A and B are shown apart, each in its own frame.
Chain A
Amino acid sequence: MTKEERLKKRHKAEKRFRFYGVVSILVALLFVLILVQNIFSKGSSAFKKTVINVEIFFDQELLEIKNGASENEIIEADFYDVAIESLIKAYPTKNLKEENQLLKLFSGDAEFEIKQAFLDNNNLIGKKINLNITASDDIDQLHKGNYPRDLPEDRRRISDFQLVIYDFLVENDKIGKNFNNYFFKNGDSRDPELAGIGGALVGSFYSILICLLLAFPVAVLASIYLEEFAPKNKITDFIEININNLAAVPSIVYGLLALQILLATIQLPRSTPLVAGITLALMTLPRIIIPCRASLKAVPPSIREGALAVGASKFQSVFHHVVPLALPGTLSGTIIGLAQALGETAPLILIGMVAFVVDIPSSPVDPSSSLPVQVYLWSESAERGFVEKTSATIMMLLSFLIVMNFLAVYLRQKFEKRWN
């Protein structure tokens, strides 16, 4: 082989390698794109809800309160009759059966929406106002085009008569889409149009907060001690190996551990962010210790020597010089650990976070759900409305993860100091 041929071969090998690299990146990007596109196309409609515009008549005879009634009196009052009487006027019906079908177009919460409107403007007695009432899940999905209307009637959840009403409403411009505040405000519900991630958001927030408060200080102190102060001997080697092992333990094992120790033995309240936070902290600890130690290790020894040489004690050299320099890496490691904890589902299922919780938790010891578990719960539900809710929840979860990872990169770049 001549020198030229050899040179050519070397160049070719490099070109080939570059090509493989580009191809693998493109393939990876394609998968991400498919994933994002899929989630977006399914989930984006969940941020809107279908509403039906209805004229509500606050009939004094049906309401047992007067104008200027106190807030408590209104809350106590029964708006059921007002709701029924107003809603059945949305379309001319002939009999009770048709009336019932018409009423099923509206969400079960219609009565409370009407009450809320009354609360907001407390002198409506004897007056008529137009209100946007949330539609039922079936109509919601039909209006969003997620529901096939060309199936035979006996295989549809929506009857022919309801379709007629729907078309009438569309023709008269009585039906539309509003921002879905329920999705952010409400807890879980059996009715998809009312279900929201409010409870899961608060639950996830408390869990991660507790996880951070427990895991961060312990992990940072453990890393500093192991890296800077601990003697290098068999015991510390053993600890180091086991930290790495712990980071690789499947998260469900931590769930089992929490189930036995936190719930069965210590008897902490089940299904709560408190238990979730402790479990996630256990799981996250080794995952924070490892990057923490790596960033401490990355601080050049010359900085330590420089500090020691002017007479700083070991403690001063570590806390005045090494730790501040390792801080960006430590923080980004922590955030990435927390991001993993935020998306963790398996251990939470074991400690009972899969319970059906309607109320939004007001403290970390109230039963609650969390975002990934909510995804898991809804993905199993049969109702069509939960499909978009599931995807929308994934979108929320992903956006939190992206924000956290971005923050990690930003912190590292902003505060990283160069020492050469």
Chain B
Amino acid sequence: MNNIKIKSKNLNVYYGEKQALYDVNLDLNEKEVTALIGPSGCGKSTFIRCINRMNDVIDICKVTGNIEMDGIEINDKDLDVVSLRERVGMVFQKPNPFPKSIYDNVSYGPKIHGKGESKNELDEIVEHSLKKAALWEEVKDRLEEPGTSLSGGQQQRLCIARAISVNPEVILMDEPCSALDPIATAKIEELIDELKKTYTIVIVTHSMAQAVRVSQKTGFFHLGKLIEVGKTEKIFKNPDNKMTQDYITGRFG
């Protein structure tokens, strides 16, 4: 069993009047993939957006409770979100490369954090990140081409490379394969398997098969509540909760 990297305690999230998360207590293990499953609108994405404070962007969003990473409180007004997001990267549902060159997409993060002072160092970071994202072989000869000219799957791997480029500890993935075809999905899943050696990964997914394939731990959300969490094997073979059972067997959702 790996160490606990992130720990949430009684986490509540409100969008204006509406409560989106109810007292979520969830521990995420280091260098492991945790999958979050559940029907649409159940709060999976809201939860992972608490980990890198992306909810700050939404004016009406209010978060109460605690969420700690390595014992440091994330849900703290005085916390510098810039350095938090340097440690917690994120990949979104729809690939969102910047409309700039492939190189600039990957080098942007290191540049703003002052990593890679010289062109050589930056080149190295870009190559390393693209290699880790299993994209290097496909793009090494056209780094100056716009990132938006790549195919959907390549774009998503470019976004993963962009997340890796600042050398984070945690990578959040919000349905990273929902806009991709099966082949591209398979590539991303392989990649996740590889990445978990270095990073703590949280992935939100609608595909139960994907959760089984990539994760070691699974949490099931329903209507803003964490219904059940446990080892992936256990959740899918022998869940404790009736609702979990119904969901994974496709009876609702």
Contact = CB atoms under 8 A, between A and B. Distances in A.
A419 interface: yes
A420 B94 CA distance: 10
Contact of B148 (A231, A307, A313, A418): A418
Contacts of A304: 57
A306 B162 contact: yes
Interface in B84-113: 84-86, 89-90, 92, 94, 96-99, 108-109, 112-113
Max count, chain A CB within 10 A of own CB: residue among B57, B92, B99: B99
Contact of A310 (B83, B85, B94, B99): B85
Contacts of B82: 311-313
A2 interface: no
A303 B99 CA distance: 9
A316 interface: yes
A419 B109 contact: no
B162 A310 contact: yes
A317 to B, nearest CB: 10
A310 B54 contact: no
B159 interface: yes
B141 interface: no
B218 interface: no
Contacts of A312: 82, 108-109, 112
B12 interface: no
Contacts of A305: 54, 57, 90, 92, 96
B52 A417 contact: no
A309 B98 contact: no
B90 A309 contact: yes
A48 to B, nearest CB: 52
Contacts of B59: 231-232
Nearest to B105: A306
A310 B89 contact: yes
Nearest to B95: A302
For the complex of A and B, the 7 pairs showing the least CB-CB separation, nearest first, are: A310-B109, A302-B96, A309-B90, A311-B85, A417-B99, A311-B86, A306-B96
B97 A306 contact: yes
A303 B94 CA distance: 11
Contacts of A308: 54, 57, 85
Given A231-B59, A303-B98, A417-B99, A309 B112 contact: no
Contacts of A325: 99
Contact of B98 (A232, A307, A313): A307
A11 interface: no
Interface string A292-327: 000000001011111111111100100011000100
Nearest to B91: A309
A420 B99 CA distance: 9
11 contacts: A232-B59, A306-B92, A308-B57, A310-B86, A310-B108, A310-B166, A312-B108, A312-B112, A316-B112, A417-B99, A419-B96
Interface in B4-59: 52, 54, 57, 59
A354 to B, nearest CB: 49
Nearest to B162: A310
Nearest to B110: A310
B248 interface: no
Interface string B191-214: 000000000000000000000000
Given A308-B85, A311-B82, A311-B84, 12 more contacts: A302-B96, A306-B97, A306-B98, A306-B159, A306-B162, A307-B108, A308-B54, A309-B52, A310-B109, A311-B83, A311-B112, A313-B82
Contacts of A303: 96, 98-99
A309 B108 CA distance: 12
Contacts of A320: 108, 112
Contacts of A302: 92, 94, 96
A108 to B, nearest CB: 63
B244 interface: no
A341 to B, nearest CB: 32
B165 interface: yes
Nearest to A231: B59
Interface string B154-190: 0000010011011000000000000000000000000
A49 to B, nearest CB: 54
Interface string B65-89: 0000000000000000011111001
Contacts of B84: 311
B161 to A, nearest CB: 11
Interface centre among A302, A311, A313, A419 (most CB of B within 10 A): A311
B141 to A, nearest CB: 23
Contacts of B89: 309-310
A310 B83 CA distance: 10
Nearest to B90: A309
A323 B43 CA distance: 32
Nearest to B147: A419
A310 B96 contact: no
Nearest to A310: B109
A389 B165 CA distance: 66
A232 B57 CA distance: 12
Nearest to A416: B99
A302 B95 CA distance: 9
B99 A309 contact: no
B45 to A, nearest CB: 12
Given A232-B59, A311-B166, A420 B112 contact: no
Contacts of B112: 310-312, 316, 320
A303 B57 CA distance: 13
A316 B109 CA distance: 11
Given A231-B59, A419-B99, A420-B148, A309 B165 contact: no
A310 B57 contact: no
Contacts of B99: 303, 325, 417-419
A313 B86 CA distance: 11
Given A320-B108, A325-B99, A419-B148, A311 B113 contact: yes
